[in-house]
Structure formats: structure tokens, C-alpha cells
Chains A and B, each alone.
Chain A
């Protein structure tokens, strides 16, 4: 499998009056052709901003500060507006969260599909409609010829998301970015839509970045995971090992919170505290105020995302065994906790 996407040290900021907020901080990840990655984390972690920045579609005061986005061998940062437009919606397509809001209410489904194809190539309306009908059939919309003439409000939520998926498939992209594609849907339809998406990705060897705060979904459909917290990736690696044996205390909390992991009758697990807002990110490790393992060093030094010995994953945590010099650790109590973690995480 060749490389499809390599994001390196991506930093996205929002310009304010005098200062700026860093919504995405030094994020790196990569994707092979046809590979699927889950981007997980709490609300406000920067998942959507990361996704949108790949196609240079960050909302207004936002901008890519530094970093590189290598897609199909091409550097995307620094492309002109017209150059990135030709990639956006063509080689990289997106699926949005709420299908009730994604489609334009005053244009027919046909118009909204045909225009996409026309924006990316010289194609007659008739040919474009044929492609559109083809894709609608792929997402199992009955009598697509007739449906092409209808408006969004004539479809249910689940149907609309199928149409959005069909639009994302029109140009046979190499990568789909799906930003919480099932969150706004009925629980009964969620699995259906997700299955459809995965089947179609397999069918045409498309890469997928699945943005969600639901580790449960991600664990079923992706090959790897990147966990984001306050703009940073705190843990990344193969899905199986992260779900079965998470390293970062935040990831541990998320895994514990997967409803399927909780024995019936017990209360749902919650990570205590709240993610900091971008304006007051704590010094050191931004997770330390919520972390039960935090030591002195965590309050002052930012941990690097680095491979964990004997594991396939990368973790940004001081408290992973083998990373700390004894002088880094503060009190005896802290040292005790540290050994506790070390025991819990087999080296």
C-alpha cells in the first residue's frame, strides 16, 4: 500500500484581535491508500478543524500556521485557492455531521450532484446525471432517476445522509473525511449508514478519516486511531492495541467510557473535569489537571508524542515507564503512584 496522506507538524491558529488561539497544535499522522483512521476526542479537541484544514476550508479567522500536508505526493499547504479547489470535493471529499443542514434547501438533488462533477471536469449534464444516478443507486436510494428532480426536504434524515455520501463518491476520491457522519441520525439508522460507508470505502479502495467522539464506532471500522486532546494528538497507533490496551491516561478514560465496556448495572464512566478552553490551556501537559497520575513534571513540561517501548503506539505522557529520570519525580507519594502505573502498564 502506497502512502496517501502525510500530515506533519500541522498547527492551525485562529487570529484574534491581538493574539491568536492554537486549535491544532503540532499534529502529525499519515494514511496509506485505502486505510481508515479514526480521529477521536472530546468536543472542542480540534478534530473538525484538523479535518477542514486538510482541504484549506477552516472557518474565518483560522489559518494554517505551520506544517506540511502531503497528499498523493503533492504539498497542499501553499497551493493557490484555485489549485486547492480542484482537489477539494474531487480527490478529497467530505461528509458533514447533520444531513438536515448539509444540502441546499432550494436546489434539487440533481443540481447539487451535477454541479459537483461540472466543477471538476468538462462533462455534459447528461453524462453527469448518469454518474449521479449510478452513485445514488450505490447508496441504495430507490428510483434515483425520479429522485434527482426532488428537493432535500422530500427525503428523510437517513436518506439525506445517503445522498451526501453519494455526493462524496461522485468524483471517485482517494480520501473521504467524514466529520461525525452518524451523530445527528437516529440510533437505528446509525449502524446502517456506517456499514454503507465502510462497504463503499472498501469497494473503491478509498481512504477514510472518521472524526468522532465515539471510540466504540471507531474501534469497529478503522485500522488506526489518533486521540486528540486540546489541539494535540496524545496517543496514536493501531486501533486494536489502543482499544485493548490504551497507554495515555486520557485514552484509558475514553476506553473505559465505551458503553460496551461497562458491565450492565454499573454507572457510565466519566473522565472527571472538563477539557480546557483554548484561551487557558494549562502549562505542561494540558491533561494534567484531570489526570490521576500527574507528577511535578507534568505541570511544567510538555510531553512529546513518542513511541512507547514494546508497543506499536505513540504516546505523549511523562508517566509512561522508562521515560522519567528519578529527579523528575516530586514527592514520595507521587513516586508511589508512578510505580503503580509502571506496574499497570507492563513494560
Chain B
């Protein structure tokens, strides 16, 4: 198991290197660091001098290593617009996005597991058929449309839910303002998280259902029944535990994709998180911030995937002993 974790971490590092290389390449071709520092009202000679001083005339690889070195120390350049280190800007926006993702993941798990199991056990019952049909519709509507629809119904027409912002926040520890602890904050969280959930939920219902159906057909489930176990134990332990592996694997990947989808959702709901910040940074040509976002999200993605792999190893006894799988 230990060797397995080491190997996963090593792979994660390689992926991070590649992400940083991509980010750096974008920065090189689009951004102008001198502008970030000086603004426009500086003469060309002064700029060239600064350029030399900053090492911007060095070979690409040398600059990349320098970029890497700084990134490892938490320095992802300065935001041109915010006049602050890009990393600080991202950190201040991260809680909003992470809370949105967390609420969405919770909703997805809460709904997909029971619905998926139910649809696998009773594939022909009408509620199951209805849910599977609805999930096809759900997956094919783009998230911004869902979001606008939700706003139209629940904010504009019914006036039940606030349509933008995060509402009343409480600082739970320095730098982290949370909306989870006030009714107003929770009310603001409802529609953005529901909109995000609609993209992920159908996939997960289908995944849980398909894996459950497969597990229910296996000999070991039949044997579990033949042992006279209670139906609930056969279903929730013998069959469901075997669906966990694929669900966790796909779940890890989807969590990353979920972060990508926050860009749209946050923009529609004016949710002041990393996603809307990313769009704004592009509009303002704030290249350092754009690249910093990409590297940061890439980092989260890699960390999540590595953790998922380790959990996978913990759930699957085969990986644990063999120390790896191909």
C-alpha cells in the first residue's frame, strides 16, 4: 500500500509539471509581465531595462524553472487588476467555489445513490422509468439554461429564492467566509448548487444503476441470498460495496469537471468565486491571474484524483495487497 501511494504521488507530480508547463507557455505567449508591473506610461528603454533585469530575455526553459520555483513557494505572479499576488486573490475567492462544489457533491451523492439503487432493483417500475427519462433530459440541458430557468421560476416569478450573490456570510476562520451557517447564506446556495447538480446527477444515477445491476447479477450476490441473508444486507453491503470502486473513480474525475462547470454557474449567479474571477480575468487580460487559476485548479484536480486513487486502494483489497494495479 505504501509503495502504491508513493507511486501515485509521483505520478501526480509529473502531471503538475505538465500543467505548469502549459500555464507558463500561455503566459509567455499572451501576457506581458512588464505591463503588469509598470502600466503603460513608461518609456520603451525603461521597459527593456526592466525586461533584462527580470530575466525575461533568458531562454524559455530557464524561465520555466524560475516560474516553477516561484509557484512552489506560492508565488504565481501578480494580478494586474487587483494589484495583489495572484495566489492571494485566488485564495480569497476559493472558499466561495469550494462551498458551492461541496454542496453540489453532497446533493449528487444524496440523490444518486438511493435513486440509482432503486432503479437497479425495480427497473420496470414507473418511478424508475420516469427518473431515467428525466435524467436524459437533465443531462442534455446546458447548465446556464437550467440556471436561467431556475432564476425565472424561483426568483422572478415566485420570489422564493435570491438569484445572485452569496448572502450573509460568517467568517469561520481567517480568510474563510462561509455561507453554510446562516439561513440567508443557505438560501443563496440553493439555486447555484441545484443548477450544478443537474449536470452531474444524471450521470451518477446512471452509473450507480448500471453498476448495481451488474453486481446484482453476480454469483456472489446469488450466494449471499442462498446464505439466507436479509435482502437489505444483500443489497446494501454485498452488491453496493462492489459498486463503490467505479463510482469513486468516476466521482474523482467528475469532481474536477464540476470545478470547470462552476465557471458558468458562478457567472450566471454572480457567485463571487474562482470561476467568475477566471472569466473576469480573461476579460481584463489579467494573464497572471488566468494562468494562476489554471495552475491552482489543476493542482486541486490532481490532489483530488490522487486521494481518490488512494481511497480506491483502501476499498479494493486487491490493490492493497498487490501494491498496485496496471
Q: Give A residues with C-beta under 8 Å from B.
A: 55, 57, 59, 81, 85-90, 93-94, 96, 98, 101-107, 115-116, 119-120, 151, 153-154, 164, 167
The yes or no answer to B47 lying at the interface (CB within 8 A) is no
Chain A proximity of B221: nearest CB distance (Å): 8
Q: List 26 A-B contacts (CB under 8 A).
A: A57-B222, A57-B225, A57-B226, A88-B225, A88-B227, A89-B229, A94-B226, A96-B219, A96-B226, A101-B218, A101-B219, A102-B220, A103-B220, A104-B221, A105-B242, A106-B244, A106-B315, A107-B238, A115-B233, A116-B229, A119-B229, A119-B230, A119-B233, A151-B318, A151-B321, A153-B317
Contact B227 A167 (CB under 8 A): yes
Docked CA distance A191–B228 (Å): 29
- List of A residues within 8 angstroms of B244 by Cβ: 106
Minimal beta-carbon separation of A295 from chain B (angstroms): 43
Q: How many residues of B contact A (CB 8 A)?
A: 25
Which residues of chain A have C-beta atoms less than 8 A from B154's C-beta? Answer: none
Contact B242 A151 (CB under 8 A): no
**What secondary structure prevails in chain B residues at the interface with A?**
helix
- Interface set, chain B 195-248, CB cutoff 8 A to A: 218-231, 233, 237-238, 241-242, 244
A residues less than 8 Å from B221 (CB atoms) = 104
- Establish whether residues B230 and A154, one from each chain, have CB atoms under 8 Å apart when the complex forms: no
Residues of B with C-beta under 8 A to A107: 237-238, 241
Neighbour of A105 across the interface among B223, B227, B318, CB < 8 A: B318
Would you call B249 an interface residue if the criterion is a C-beta within 8 Å of the partner chain's C-beta atoms? no
Q: Decide if B220 touches A101 in the complex (CB within 8 Å).
A: yes
Interface residues of B, Cβ cutoff 8 Å to A:
218-231, 233, 237-238, 241-242, 244, 315-318, 321
Nearest A residue to B238 via CB reads: A104
- A106: which of B222, B226, B242, B321 is its contact (CB, 8 Å)? B242
Q: A59-B222, A106-B317 are in contact. List 11 more A-B contacts (CB 8 A).
A: A57-B222, A89-B228, A96-B219, A98-B219, A104-B223, A105-B220, A106-B316, A107-B241, A115-B227, A153-B318, A153-B321
Q: Are B237 and A154 in contact (CB under 8 A)?
A: no
Known pairs A105-B318, A107-B238; A87 contacts B219 (CB<8 A): no
- Say how far A169's CB is from chain B's closest CB, in angstroms: 12
Most chain B C-beta atoms within 10 Å of own C-beta, residue among A94, A104, A115, A154: A104
Q: Which residues of A contact B316 (CB under 8 A)?
A: 106
User: Do the beta carbons of A154 and B321 come within 8 Å of each other?
Assistant: yes
On whether A102 and B315 interact (CB within 8 A), knowing A90-B228, A107-B238, A115-B229, the answer reads no
B220: chain A residues within 8 A (beta carbon): 101-105
Please name the residue on chain B nearest to A87 by beta carbon: B228
Rounded to whole Å, the gap between the CB of A116 and the closest CB of chain B is: 5
